[in-house]
Structure 1
Amino acid sequence: MSDDATPVHVGKRIARARKRRGLTQQGLAQRAKYSRSHLAQVEAGHKVATPAFVAAVAAALSVDPAEIYGQPYRGHTPHEDQVHGAISDLRRAMACVDVGPDLDVPPRTLDQLAAAIDAALQLRHQARHVQLSARLPALIEELTWHAYEVGGPRAWTLLNRAHNIAASLTRRLGYNDLSGQIMERAAVSARQSEDPHLPLMITHRRALLMMGVAAYGPAVRLLDRSISRVDRARLDATEVLGSLHLRAAVVSARGRRPSDAWEHYEQAVEVSRAAGGPSLDAHGTDFNPGNIAIHGAAIALELGDLDEAVRRDEQIPAPLLAGLAAERRAHHHIDMSRVHVELGNYDTALERLVAADRTAPQMTRYHPSARSVVTHLVDMRRTVHEALRRLHARMSA
């Protein structure tokens, strides 16, 4: 496997892309709005490349952030690479527009497909990427057949749920082009569903792709527009409104707008408090007090307030964190590993990575930030701890 496919060369990839475009470090730093010294430290491997930094550099270089990260992360063997096996099948499923696909066998009923979608959502919450990727193409093809050949709001609603799960998975694996294509199809299925909140949730998910290319201002404006359109009388209004505020808070923080970030965060807290703090997941957002709490730490991290991120992390009750979906817990551990590696607390950073890997090993293996932290810890250690060696070996496979 080439160096570009390993987790050890994010800085080198940036340097190579910069040189291909004939830019000096100073020239790229000015375009990306970072200091030359920061860029030099990342290129040399002395500083972790944060998602905000990668987004800024990728935009300045006119490349996909996945190119900077070296995604998709492929394996040496069929077993290690099987998570990518469904990508071509998903692309084929997306080829059917305005007509249903030809199916080898009759499609399952909508009741059966609804149960299959629920099971797929659980796999997503558990961050079981391999198992989820194996199921999605058939689900989307069968639901596409129902939507175009039979029609009806329920078929379109179920297809929208499948689209959203597929868009999330492909984005996590680094197929941003495919994820964007699926999101466009999701926008169509949302409109056809006759559910006024589904188009708003498209904005919630599309904002992640926009954040990845440093389009913070447009993303927040779209989210604000969706927030204003929430129908407070609908049963799912609490989850929709609260999750939109949380997404706007994170995007605002990544865009270095602290007052907007904390204002949106407090709005989400108030929405949850007014509803009695239930756990809501009709749209797959896992909107609950625990998820809100870890978002507070994430916002502080994105704003660069590392001490505040640590403080908020320490205040999260263990039962609250334990009650979250594995996907959310692992993501929080990875975020906190970023915090502690920046603070120079390398032992704690490794502990959080190990916790993430124990919680959701597939997610941790394919997460760019986890790989960046692992690489940095390997480079900074004189002796590599066995747990770190195992993580590095798995990520380099």
Structure 2
Amino acid sequence: MVDMPRSREEGIQMTGHDWNPDLMHDDRSEHTGQRIARARKLRNLSQEGLARLANVSRSLIAKVESGARPATPSLVAAVARACQVDPAEINGQPYRGSDKRSDAVHAAIPAIRMALAYVDVAPEPDMPPRTLDELSTELGRLQKLQKSASHARLGALLPAALEELTVHVMESGDPRAWRLLNRAQSFAGSLARRLGYNDLAQVVVERTSVSAQRAGDPYLPHLVTMGRARLLMTLGSWDVALKMLKQTAGKIDQDDPVSTEVFGSLHLSAAIAAARAGKAADAWEHHGTASEAAARINPRDRRDPYGLQMNPGNAAIHGCAVAVELGDSDQAIRLDQGVDLTGRDTTDERRAHHEIDMARAHLWANDHDRALKRMIIAERTAPQMARFHPSARETIRQLVRVHRKIPEPLRTLESRMAI
């Protein structure tokens, strides 16, 4: 059941006019609820009919459509699935900028699409591709950009790496080249999902499936499953994603640190899938399994070759995320007290994501000051992540609505995030 918990109903009182942060100066502006209403009407559904298909209450649909409630990621996905549209359409994604600088992150998408289109015929670059050693170094650089949520810079550098590695795999079939190509493709898939290009993310999943089979790495097919499951979660197919993750995790022996990292990461994803499906017991069971796996890995043996960040700190962050996805703001706030974000294993991307989650929890708890403080931290930690994250934008939008007089820090944050 994807519904708004009672604590949220009591904690968020919203009045006045809502608006689309991307078109706030446009008379045609729509907020998320209005986009839900439009999608519903195009499907000839009543609010009651949509509620039944999305497995939520009619009153929740009515309040979200009127702007009296925020639309959670779970609700957006459930409604999109019921209306047979992409969740990005309901969210209003992609969030385009108003000038070349603010829109730069999207400029790379056509080039990434083109680089992924080469399947049977290699591209013809203007100069010989870099060596595999050079490209391996380049991918290390791209991974750092991903961990810092530097979307624009990552997008600018990624197409060239994809094309050059495609030349290598077509010309040599070297398993190492396939492994590196798989890694670059994974960067592309993550970026596409974050920016709301779910169709491109689906293409990437299929491409990574091929490269994983040819890379000679036993764990890459498991990571492809995890990528596919995350996309399914975005699209609202939580039960299918959960089943895939559980089956895949069951195939891993955990006989070394790397296999344990993959095993634990699959269970962390399963915990989020179960939480979005409203299966609290399953969600906490998966989270507990992942936390135990993280604790078993000796820090001296942790290599993290796939950038999974499978460590106790990340497991603790995911505990808060599970509580948030379940709508339990009190539990999220309690768990947050035990989260340490200062460790070197915690990336800016993970820190910012956690701050966004906690801002949502404080908003539901009607603590607007703390919600704003957490959003300010998130935006300062990873500005581009905050700018393009639907929950971050929804939280800022709701904070603006609950204040009769908008505080200057909130107004400044709203401006910096181009909302």
Q: Distance in 1 between matches of 2:153 and 2:62?
A: 40
Change (3 A) 1:350 1:280: farther
- Which of residues 402, 405, 408 in structure 2 aligns to 1:383? 405
Amino acid at match of 1:138: A
Confirm or deny: 8 A CA contact 2:383 2:417 kept in the other structure.
no
Query: In structure 2, how many angstroms separate the alpha carbons of the residues matched to 1:392 and 1:6?
Result: 13
* 8 Å CA contact retained: 1:280, 1:286: no
Distance (Å, rounded) in 1 between the aligned partners of 2:342 and 2:119: 46
What is residue 327 of structure 2 aligned with on the other side? 304
The structure 2 residue matched to 1:161, chosen from 177, 183, 186, is 183
Query: 5+ residue gaps in structure 2?
Result: 1-18, 25-29
In the alignment, the residues of structure 1 paired with residue 409 and residue 158 of structure 2 have an alpha-carbon distance, to the nearest angstrom, of: 33
Q: Which residue of 2 aligns with 1:144?
A: 166
2:140 to 112, 118, 134: 118
CA contact (8 A) 2:182 2:208 kept: yes
Kindly report which structure 2 residues correspond to 1:1-397, keeping only aligned pairs within 5 A, or say none: 5-6=22-23, 9-276=31-298, 280-317=303-340, 319-320=342-343, 323-396=345-418
User: Secondary structure at 1:48's aligned position in 2?
Assistant: coil
C-alpha contact 1:65 1:213 (8 A) present in aligned 2:
yes
Give the Å deviation of 1:47.
Answer: 1.4
Shift of 1:284: 1.4
Cα distance, 1:228 vs. partner?
1.8
Structure 1 range deviating more: 194-203 or 22-31:
22-31
What does residue 9 of structure 2 align with?
A: none
Equivalent position amino acid for 1:41 in 2: K
Deviation of 1:339 (Å): 0.8
Whole-Å separation in 2 of the counterparts to 1:243 and 1:169:
19
Q: Tell me how far 1:317 sits from its aligned partner.
A: 3.4
- How far, CA to CA, are the matches of 1:87 and 1:172 in structure 2? 12
**Range with greater deviation from structure 2 (160-169 or 386-395):** 386-395
Rate the CA distance shift 1:89–1:266 in 2: closer, same or farther, 3 A. same
Which blocks of at least 5 consecutive residues in structure 1 are unaligned? none
Greater alpha carbon shift after TM alignment, 144-153 vs 61-70: 144-153
Contact 2:375 2:392 in 1 (8 A): yes
TM-score with structure 1 setting the length: 0.96
SS of 1:301 mapped into structure 2: helix
What secondary structure, in the 3-state scheme, does the structure 1 residue paired with 2:254 have? coil
Contact 1:238 1:275 survives alignment (8 Å): yes
Q: Which of the two has greater helix per residue?
A: 1
Structure 2 distance, partners of 1:4, 1:65, is 17
Shift of residue 171 of structure 1? 0.6
Q: Distance in 1 between matches of 2:82 and 2:156?
A: 36
User: What is the distance in 2 between the residues matched to 1:105 and 1:166?
Assistant: 23
Aligned residues: 395
Q: In structure 2, what residue type is equivalent to 1:283?
A: Y
Structure 2 counterpart SS, 1:63: coil
Q: Deviations over 1:291-330 (max 9, x none)?
A: 110101111111222211110001223534x751000000
CA RMSD, aligned part only? 1.7
Supply the distance in 2 between the matched residues of 1:43 and 1:337 (Cα, whole angstroms): 22
- Paired letter, 2:330: D
Does the aligned pair in 1 maintain the 2:309–2:345 contact within 8 Å?
no
Q: Distance in 1 between matches of 2:349 and 2:316?
A: 15
SS in 1 for 2:342: helix
Deviation at 1:136, TM superposition (A): 0.5
Q: Partner amino acid for 1:316?
A: V
Paired residue secondary structure (2:127): coil
Residue 7 of structure 2 corresponds to: none
* Greater shift in the superposed pair: 118-127 or 37-46: 37-46
Distance 1:168 1:124 in 2: 9
